[in-house]
Structure 1
């Protein structure tokens, strides 16, 4: 029988099978066929190799899907045209799980050649480990990237974040291939389909919105995550910097917080306002009340009460907080925008804001300057006053 092979076709024929086995040949790819039994099915490729007709087993259904078997079939046909032997096609694939590759090879390399590994560690734990950590490298394919894109979209991640997550995973797999730890799935040879990522209008909080956010956080209580969000608002620091803040780097007497390694790879010092210091005092009081004797050994300022370690992700809490405050379009990073625009509206120079945000280049700071228009509105009123009739 000849037809276009699909998962549904195989399942239907399994249910209708009246004999021990049946064979269906694919109508699209020459030599691609499946042997069907009641409880299993085996994908095969029939092809001439070294002048003899050979049958190469591709895998069993449903352990691999028809589309994966089809892709593997095309890869084998390409290798055969380049002179591959039967032994080349049938010898075991050298591979390992994604967790093994990440732990033993990728992370050590990343920590050696990249400025800061905090972000990749958080991304791996929260996204890749959960979904693919147990999978062998060569089994992860383009279809997995499409599913990851859909899942992250459904969770509300911005297109830029989704694209970055997909590109990093594909890059990790291609690096494993380059280093000889696996032969990646053939579908990953072409770039993934990325989401359209149009430049977003920068968002910052008005005075009334900032009050509303703080009222919600106060009502929810002084928990580590709620206090971390407040601290973001009052310091303009980055999310990763706040979540990894260490008590050893806080100088209460000088009202300063030292960040050993910032995004640009250099240390920087954050000047703390009285309100920011008060937030830290609340965090310390929380740990003394809830951690007991362990409080003295906890180094993380906004430690997770369950693990006493830094939080890796506070997205779910932030999603609920911003919904209660009716700020559903506000991202955590927008609190940094708000900090910058509030300073500029208050008359602080762009150079002082640059120092407070920890930017090495004034051009980076200028992208925040255009967010704040209140002073400009006041400034143009001077034109009315100058031209106006008495």
Structure 2
């Protein structure tokens, strides 16, 4: 095995002799393949030669000699970038979790036991069932893509017996009024100095965290109280109506940016002052704050749930809530239709008063 340095790239090649003929197999490019992966592939080739087999013929397309890392980087990832707007989430899941467990394994060597061990390890690390399931789905999708490409030499998706964990995706958690004060007190202790403003803006607009963190100043028309989100989860733009309180948050951020940016402000609204780039995540500081406030079951997306629940409890119609959340179907919005007991009591009292029945 040797590394060939061309003008534009470096590639690994395997030189061998079979039936008295000198042959070469191009294995892959550096640094897409690292040296640990090359050692695994090298051992596979040597094993084939020891059995009297030509490594090239033993697996014509060399798919069984690929590690999962190689398949992900060279085959799966390029297509993922084209078809999925949130491909970076899958990339992060693979790099930080799947790669560490399966990355150096050959495709042909991955077994149902490996999948089960991965699930158990994730549970021991105290990841939620929903998070683990998302990673298992990604793993399954990789093998499903390989099936569609008709690649050979590895188990198909069904044979891996990928079983998702029991999980209630409709879990409901709303930030209560009495929880808000202690949660924001905890947020203000964060090293992320604008974390309270980010969380407040999420809670006041009902927007998704990705929409908020990628928001640019040019997206806002404060005179008309409008925020145009150019790209949403559905792939379509939408417009969010701003309240006075949400505009107050923007004003505070604007004044803060005037102090730290030479030009008076950044392109993005919620910017890391150290990198001067938009935040891509607030998970770690959010988790620390919720732990400090003893609200460890609160998730970032629950702020969107809380916004919707507050609207319904204030008498806003489900169709108006649908419009404010940007749902294409009212069916999706129905999960937020949770009226408080006080409101239900007042509603049923209205019916009683209407008929004016005397017993």
Shared fold per TM-score greater than 0.5: yes
Matched with 1:193 is 163
SS in 1 for 2:310: helix
Q: Is the 8 A contact 2:107 2:155 kept in 1?
A: yes
Matched with 2:180 is 210
Following superposition, the deviation at residue 235 of structure 1 comes to 0.8
Matched with 1:370 is 338
Q: Is the 8 A contact 1:225 1:302 kept in 2?
A: no
Q: Is the 8 A contact 1:97 1:137 kept in 2?
A: yes
SS in 2 for 1:331: coil
Give me the TM-score of the superposition, normalised by structure 2: 0.70
Matched with 1:314 is 282
Larger Rg: 1
* Compared CA separation, residues 188 and 243, structure 1 to 2 (3 A): farther
SS in 1 for 2:207: coil
SS in 2 for 1:233: helix
SS in 2 for 1:257: strand
Matched with 1:380 is 348
* Compared CA separation, residues 154 and 250, structure 1 to 2 (3 A): farther
Give me the TM-score of the superposition, normalised by structure 1: 0.65
The 5 Å alignment of 1:1-390 reads 86-87=53-54, 88-89=57-58, 93-94=62-63, 101-102=71-72, 104-112=74-82, 114=83, 116-118=84-86, 120-125=87-92, 127-131=93-97, 132=99, 135=104, 138=107, 141-142=110-111, 145-176=115-146, 178-179=148-149, 183-184=153-154, 189-198=159-168, 201-220=171-190, 223-290=193-260, 292-293=261-262, 296=265, 298-370=266-338, 372-382=340-350
* Compared CA separation, residues 198 and 358, structure 1 to 2 (3 A): closer
> Matches of 1:159 and 1:240 in 2, distance apart?
22
In structure 1, runs of 5+ residues without a counterpart are 1-62, 77-83
- RMSD across aligned C-alpha pairs, in angstroms? 3.8
SS in 1 for 2:131: helix
> Matches of 1:277 and 1:164 in 2, distance apart?
35
SS in 2 for 1:258: strand
SS in 1 for 2:281: coil
* Residues 325-356 of structure 1: per-residue CA shift (max 9 Å, x gap): 22222211111111011111111111111110
Q: Is the 8 A contact 1:97 1:136 kept in 2?
A: yes
Following superposition, the deviation at residue 153 of structure 1 comes to 3.2
Q: Is the 8 A contact 1:205 1:335 kept in 2?
A: yes
SS in 2 for 1:293: coil
For these two proteins, the number of residue pairs brought into alignment is 306
Q: Is the 8 A contact 2:220 2:227 kept in 1?
A: yes
Following superposition, the deviation at residue 163 of structure 1 comes to 0.7
Matched with 2:10 is none
